[in-house]
Structure 1
Amino acid sequence: MPKASLTARALLLDMDGTLVNSDAAVERIWRQWAEGHGLDPDEALKVVHGRQGYASMAELLPDRPMELNHAENAEMLARETADVEGVVPIPGAAAFLASVADLPHALVTSADAALAQARMTAAGLPMPEVRITAESVGASKPDPEGFLKGAAELGFTPADCVAFEDSAAGITAARAAGTLIIGVGPRALPHSPDLHVPDLTHLEITAAPDGLITFRRRAS
Structure 2
Amino acid sequence: MSAVSYSNQTSFTADGVLFDMDGTLTDSIAAVEAAWTAKANELGLEPDAVIKATHGRRASDNLMELVPGLRKEHVEREVEKFERSILAFADTPPESRKNSFASGRSSRSSQSSTNSASTRRSSLAPLTPVSHTPDVARHPAFQFSTSETLTLTSEKLVKETIVDESAIDDDDAEDIIDMSVRILPGVRKMINSLPDNKYAVATSGAKTYCHGCLNRTSINIPKVCVTADDSRLLRGKPFPDPFLLAAADLGIAPTRAVVFEDSPSGIKAGVASGATVIAVCTSHKREQIENLGAHFVVETMDQVKVDQLSDGQLQFTVAY
Whether these two folds match at TM > 0.5 is yes
Taking structure 1 as reference, are residues 160 and 71 closer, same or farther at Cα in structure 2, changes over 3 Å only?
same
2:297 is aligned, of 189, 196, 214, to 196
* Corresponding residue number in structure 1 for 2:245: 149
In structure 2, C-alpha distance between the alignment counterparts of 1:103 and 1:201, rounded to whole Å: 22
CA RMSD of aligned residues (A): 2.5
Q: Which runs of 5+ in 2 are unaligned?
A: 1-8, 92-179
User: How many residues are paired up?
Assistant: 217
The 8 Å contact of residues 51 and 141 in structure 1, kept in 2 or not, is answered as: yes
Give the TM-score normalised by structure 1: 0.86
The 8 Å contact of residues 84 and 119 in structure 1, kept in 2 or not, is answered as: no
Give the TM-score normalised by structure 2: 0.61
| Partner-residue secondary structure (3-state), 1:16 | coil
- Higher-Rg structure is 2
* Corresponding residue number in structure 1 for 2:186: 92
Kindly indicate whether residue 89 of structure 2 is the aligned counterpart of residue 83 of structure 1.
yes
* Corresponding residue number in structure 2 for 1:182: 278
Structure 2 letter corresponding to 1:108: A
| Partner-residue secondary structure (3-state), 1:96 | helix
Identity of aligned residues (%): 31
| Partner-residue secondary structure (3-state), 1:107 | strand
The 8 Å contact of residues 226 and 242 in structure 2, kept in 1 or not, is answered as: yes
Structure 2 letter corresponding to 1:92: G
* Corresponding residue number in structure 1 for 2:154: none
* Corresponding residue number in structure 1 for 2:255: 159
Structure 1 position 108, deviation (Å): 0.9
Taking structure 1 as reference, are residues 38 and 25 closer, same or farther at Cα in structure 2, changes over 3 Å only?
same
Kindly indicate whether residue 22 of structure 2 is the aligned counterpart of residue 16 of structure 1.
yes
1:206 is aligned, of 303, 307, 311, to 307
Structure 1 position 4, deviation (Å): 4.4
Structure 1 position 66, deviation (Å): 5.4
In structure 2, C-alpha distance between the alignment counterparts of 1:64 and 1:37, rounded to whole Å: 12
In the TM superposition, 1:116-135 aligns within 5 A as 116-135=210-229
In structure 1, C-alpha distance between the alignment counterparts of 2:76 and 2:206, rounded to whole Å: 13
| Partner-residue secondary structure (3-state), 2:208 | helix
| Partner-residue secondary structure (3-state), 2:23 | coil
* Corresponding residue number in structure 1 for 2:35: 29
Structure 1 letter corresponding to 2:251: G
The 8 Å contact of residues 76 and 229 in structure 2, kept in 1 or not, is answered as: no
Structure 1 position 58, deviation (Å): 4.2
Tell me whether 16-25 or 125-134 shows the greater mean CA deviation: 125-134
